[in-house]
């Protein structure tokens, strides 16, 4: 199970002029968290936060498994079409638990589980690039959209539908689709019932970016042989660990409270998530959406105009030591880092004891690549600490289904605590609406007049 080290957020450990006073963990920070915890518990009790219940939802798991077992046998490739909360969790699952090379493996090496692709951005270049490599006759398209109307997802779905009609005939197309959508509303749900397309539900009280442990992530995971039981078990264990209203006993509470204080009191507005594992690179992107879309808000729940929110920044170690770490070490003191380290990072790759006379690198011989990666994580955290720059470290025993499930839940719970601490609603995203409406207008949707866009002024064109 993941552990959280937070000493390097505290005065004394960080130096006398930096960090948060450790006594505050049992004083005002503790009180602040207790209130946030009570607020979240109340919203959870009123069933607004359905993601807490997903690890125990056996019926949803059984329905997902049944669909996965059926489709897993028929198709060589599964393509998820979705965006935002409907795609980032699946990308994280694929990279962390199947490995980035999964789709290049032959069927035997994949134990005959399907390849898994995600169509997210409606960029014609990536869309056509993927479609031209697929055998449509052997591909299942899992269209994932809670609203059932997201333009990017629906546009790609429509193109795929048209291509399938040409390739296999209109009467067979519906057999290549599975919709994951709202249980009772939206155009996708309607289409499914009109055309007899199988569906899986996203519970009404589970928002897009909190949906990875619903059929949104479970179907692609189960169909590719990921141990979904272990993933839900890890998530359930994390729910239990985060039940305490005592700050120092609640890892999600500590994460949220310390990051909130770093933003609002230490000026650390930029929250960097930096796993030291390529497999967790996508996790940092998933976290970025969760943190940004949930906490970046203009209006508080009280109705007051606030314009708050930390800026999440993904990074990956050790690669970013040769890119962003210079900025983290010496640039503005507006960042706090959350490192993710892995104790057992995979098959050990030993570095041979050769070139004994080349002092510049002979010292590496006899170690392993994993040892080097972990030493770099510890060294970077220590270098930041010496510079009085705050950080925390989450450590996993290994990257497996249980620990990834636990991590998802840890960040989701921290996010809803974050909402309570900032005084905003972490479950909505009103700021994306205007852009959507203007897009509808530009694309000619009925009821949305074409917007007047200022034409580019030649005086301001270089």
**Which residues contact ligand PA5 (rule: CB under 6 A)?**
83-86, 145-147, 150, 153, 207-209, 293, 429
Query: Would you call the peptide bond into 340 cis, given omega within 30 degrees of 0 as the criterion?
Result: no
Measured from the CB atom, is 72 or 310 closer to ligand PA5? Answer: 310
Nearest residue to ligand PA5, using CB? 208
In angstroms, rounded to a whole number, what is the distance separating the alpha carbons of residues 227 and 224? 9
Which CB, 6 or 141, lies closer to ligand PA5? 141
The one catalytic residue in 95, 120, 152, 293 is 293
- Annotated catalytic residue, options 322, 367, 433, 437: 322
Q: Is residue 437 flagged as an active site residue?
A: no
Query: Beta strands of 285-436 (E only): which ranges?
Result: 297-299, 305-308, 311-314, 335-344, 391-398
Q: Which of 11, 269, 367, 436 is catalytic?
A: 436
Rank residues 292 and 329 by Cβ distance to ligand PA5 and give the closer one.
Answer: 292
Strand 77-81 and strand 3-5: the pairing is unpaired
Minimum CB distance to ligand PA5 smaller for 153 or for 391: 153
Residue 293 appears among annotated catalytic residues: yes
Residue closer to ligand PA5, measured from CB, 271 or 402: 271
Q: Mark whether 16 is an active-site residue.
A: no
- By annotation, the residues acting in catalysis are 293, 322, 436
């Amino acid at each position: 199970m993941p552990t959280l080290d937070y000493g390097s957020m505290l005065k004394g450990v960080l130096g006398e002029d930096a960090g948060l006073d450790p006594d505050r963990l049992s004083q005002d920070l503790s009180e602040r968290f207790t209130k946030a915890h009570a607020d979240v518990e109340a919203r959870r009790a009123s069933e607004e936060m359905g993601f807490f219940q997903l690890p125990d939802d056996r019926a949803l798991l059984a329905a997902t498994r049944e669909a996965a077992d059926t489709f897993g046998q028929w198709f060589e490739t599964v393509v998820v079409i979705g965006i935002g909360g409907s795609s980032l969790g699946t990308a994280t699952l694929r990279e962390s638990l199947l490995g980035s090379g999964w789709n290049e493996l032959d069927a035997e090496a994949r134990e005959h589980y399907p390849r898994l692709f995600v169509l997210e951005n409606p960029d014609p270049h990536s869309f056509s690039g993927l479609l031209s490599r697929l055998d449509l006759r052997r591909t299942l398209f899992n269209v994932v959209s809670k609203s059932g109307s997201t333009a990017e997802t629906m546009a790609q779905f429509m193109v795929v539908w048209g291509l399938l009609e040409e390739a296999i005939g209109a009467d067979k197309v519906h057999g290549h689709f599975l919709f994951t959508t709202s249980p009772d509303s939206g155009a996708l749900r309607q289409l499914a019932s009109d055309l007899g397309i199988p569906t899986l539900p996203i519970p009404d009280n589970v928002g897009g970016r909190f949906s990875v442990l619903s059929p949104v992530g479970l179907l692609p995971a189960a169909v590719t042989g990921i141990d979904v039981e272990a993933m839900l078990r890890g998530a359930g264990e994390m729910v239990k660990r985060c039940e305490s209203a005592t700050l120092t006993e609640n890892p999600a509470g500590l994460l949220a409270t310390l990051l909130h204080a770093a933003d609002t009191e230490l000026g650390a507005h930029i929250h960097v998530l930096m796993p030291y594992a390529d497999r967790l690179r996508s996790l940092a992107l998933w976290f970025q959406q969760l943190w940004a879309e949930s906490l970046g808000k203009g209006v508080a729940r009280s109705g007051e105009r606030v314009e708050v929110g930390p800026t999440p920044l993904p990074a990956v170690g050790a690669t970013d030591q040769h890119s962003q770490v210079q900025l983290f070490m010496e640039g503005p003191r507006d960042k706090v880092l959350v490192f993710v380290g892995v104790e057992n990072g995979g098959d050990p790759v030993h570095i041979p004891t050769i070139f004994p006379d080349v002092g510049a690198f002979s010292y590496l011989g006899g170690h392993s690549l994993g040892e080097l990666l972990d030493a770099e994580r510890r060294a970077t955290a220590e270098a930041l600490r010496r510079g009085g720059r705050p950080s925390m470290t989450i450590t996993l025993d290994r990257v497996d289904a249980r620990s990834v499930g636990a991590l998802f839940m840890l960040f989701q719970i921290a996010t809803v605590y974050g909402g309570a601490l900032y005084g905003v609603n972490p479950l909505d995203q009103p700021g994306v609406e205007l852009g959507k409406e203007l897009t509808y207008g530009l694309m000619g949707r009925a009821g949305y007049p074409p917007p007047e866009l200022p034409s580019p002024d030649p005086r301001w064109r270089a």
